[in-house]
C-alpha cells in the first residue's frame, strides 16, 4: 500500500492494489477449492481449513469493503437477506428490536414472521423521527435498532448519528442497511453505527449478475464473532465465482454511483411539477422531508434511486410503466441499466407503498434519453 492512503475511488478502482503473489496478475484468481491440506504435523499454518469459512476468494472483496466503509472487518454472504438476517439471528432469543415502517419489504416480512414465532419482538416505527425511535426503546430489552437510509421505496432519510446515540444510551447496537447510499455517499460507521449491511447484489456489484450480501463491523467484538459463526453455521456463504464477479463490479463503483446520482437528480428535477406526476420522492429535492439530514450525512450526491407517484392512481401508474421503451420493467436496483417497477404489486397486500408509486433505479445511460422516455410514457 502506498505511504499516503489513496482516495477511496482509487482503492476501489485498483481493488486495493493487490496482485497475485505467484503470477503478478492484477486480477484476483478464482479459487474453487472446498478443502485445504494440513501440514505434516496436523496443523493448518496457512490458515485455511474448509471452503465454507476459509474461501480465499473472499479475502480481497471483504478487505475492499472494509476499507471503503472504514470498518474493522467484513463478511460476504450468499445474499443481502442472508447478511441482514444474520444480524437478527445473532441476538439473544426473545430480543427486542426496532425497525422502520418503510424498509425492504422482504426483510420486514421476515422480522414479522420471527416475531410471530417468538424468536424476537419487534416494533416498527417512523424511523425518520428520533422521538419515535426513542419512544420505542425498551430499557434493558432493546438489543438492536435497524435503519435503512435512504429507505426503499419512498427514499425517506433517517438520522444515523442521532439513532446511534439512542442505541448507545439503550445498550443496543445500531445496524444500517446502506445498500442505496453505498460507501460512495455515506459511511454509517463513522456516524456511530456498529454494523453496516449491503445487498451487494445492487450497487456494489452493479451489473445485475450476482446475488450477494455483506456486513461490515466497527469492531471485532463478541457480536462480530457471533456473526462469523452464524454465517458458517447457517451455510450462508457466497460462491467463488460470485465473489470474483463482485470484486470486478466494485472496481467501477465510484464512477457508476456518481453518474447515477447526477442523472437521478436531473430526472427528479425534470419530473417535479410534471402535469401527470403527483409527487417525486427523491432526497436531493429541497422539498423532500429528509433533504437537510441527507445533505449532512450523504456526500457527493443523493443516490440513484427515486420514486414517482403518478396522477390517476394505480391504473395510470401501471399504464405508464407499460409504455416505457428504454426503462426496463424489472425488480432490483443499482445496475448499469435503468429499471422501473410498480412497487405495490411486488409487495402485495398490506404494503405501506402507495398504489400510484413507480420506483426508478437510474443506470448510466444518457439522462436526456431516460427523461424523454418516461415523459412520453406519462403523457401518451
In whole angstroms, give the CA distance from residue 253 to residue 251: 6
Q: Is 52 a catalytic residue?
A: yes
In whole angstroms, give the CA distance from residue 195 to residue 182: 14
Q: Is 226 a catalytic residue?
A: no
Q: Pick the catalytic residue: 177, 194, 356, 373?
A: 177
Residue 291 burial (C-beta neighbours within 10 Å; 0-12, 13-18, 19+): middle
Which DSSP symbol is given to 33? -
Residue 179 burial (C-beta neighbours within 10 Å; 0-12, 13-18, 19+): buried
In whole angstroms, give the CA distance from residue 274 to residue 288: 16
In whole angstroms, give the CA distance from residue 44 to residue 315: 62
In whole angstroms, give the CA distance from residue 131 to residue 166: 10
Task: Report whether the peptide linkage leading into residue 297 is cis, meaning its omega lies within 30 degrees of zero.
Answer: no
In whole angstroms, give the CA distance from residue 182 to residue 250: 11
Q: Pick the catalytic residue: 54, 108, 194, 202?
A: 202
Residue written as grid cell 419487534:
122
How crowded is the C-beta side of 361, counted as CA atoms within 13 Å? 27
Residues 6+ apart with CB under 8 A from 160: 147, 149, 174, 176, 186, 188, 191, 192, 193, 297
Residue written as grid cell 462469523:
228
Q: Pick the catalytic residue: 54, 58, 104, 254?
A: 104
**Which positions are annotated as active-site residues?**
52, 104, 177, 202
Amino acid at each position: 500500500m502506498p505511504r499516503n492512503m489513496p482516495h477511496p475511488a482509487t482503492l476501489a478502482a485498483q481493488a486495493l492494489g493487490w496482485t497475485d503473489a505467484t503470477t503478478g496478475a492484477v486480477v484476483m484468481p478464482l479459487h474453487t477449492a472446498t478443502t485445504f491440506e494440513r501440514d505434516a504435523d496436523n496443523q493448518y499454518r496457512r490458515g485455511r481449513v474448509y471452503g465454507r469459512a476459509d474461501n480465499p476468494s473472499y479475502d480481497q472483496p471483504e478487505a475492499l469493503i472494509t476499507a471503503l466503509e472504514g470498518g474493522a472487518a467484513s463478511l460476504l454472504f450468499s445474499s443481502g437477506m442472508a447478511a441482514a438476517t444474520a444480524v437478527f439471528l445473532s441476538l439473544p432469543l426473545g430480543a427486542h428490536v426496532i425497525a422502520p415502517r418503510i424498509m425492504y419489504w422482504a426483510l420486514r416480512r421476515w422480522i414479522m414472521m420471527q416475531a410471530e414465532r417468538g424468536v424476537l419482538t419487534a416494533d416498527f416505527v417512523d424511523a425518520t423521527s428520533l422521538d419515535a425511535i426513542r419512544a420505542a426503546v425498551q430499557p434493558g430489552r432493546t438489543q438492536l435498532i435497524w435503519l435503512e437510509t435512504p429507505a426503499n421505496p419512498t427514499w425517506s432519510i433517517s438520522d444515523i448519528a442521532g439513532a446511534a446515540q439512542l442505541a448507545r444510551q439503550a445498550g443496543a447496537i445500531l445496524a444500517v442497511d446502506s445498500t442505496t447510499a453505498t460507501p460512495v455517499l455515506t459511511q454509517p460507521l463513522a456516524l456511530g453505527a456498529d454494523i453496516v449491511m449491503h445487498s451487494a447484489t445492487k450497487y456494489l456489484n452493479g451489473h445485475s449478475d450476482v446475488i450477494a450480501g455483506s456486513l461490515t463491523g466497527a469492531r471485532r467484538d463478541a457480536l462480530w464473532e457471533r456473526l462469523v459463526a452464524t454465517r458458517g453455521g447457517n451455510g450462508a456463504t457466497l460462491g467463488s465465482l460470485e465473489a470474483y464477479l463482485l470484486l470486478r463490479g466494485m472496481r467501477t463503483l465510484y464512477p457508476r454511483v456518481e453518474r447515477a446520482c447526477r442523472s437521478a437528480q436531473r430526472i427528479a428535477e425534470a419530473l417535479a411539477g410534471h402535469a401527470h406526476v403527483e409527487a417525486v420522492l427523491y432526497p436531493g429535492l429541497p422539498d423532500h422531508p429528509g433533504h437537510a439530514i441527507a445533505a449532512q450525512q450523504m456526500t457527493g450526491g443523493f443516490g440513484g434511486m427515486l420514486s414517482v407517484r403518478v396522477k390517476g392512481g394505480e391504473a395510470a401508474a401501471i399504464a405508464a410503466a407499460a409504455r416505457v421503451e428504454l426503462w426496463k420493467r424489472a425488480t432490483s436496483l443499482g445496475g448499469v441499466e435503468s429499471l422501473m417497477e410498480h412497487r405495490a404489486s411486488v409487495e402485495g397486500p398490506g404494503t405501506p407503498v402507495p398504489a400510484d408509486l413507480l420506483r426508478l433505479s437510474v443506470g448510466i445511460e444518457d439522462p436526456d434519453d431516460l427523461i424523454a422516455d418516461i415523459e412520453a410514457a406519462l403523457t401518451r
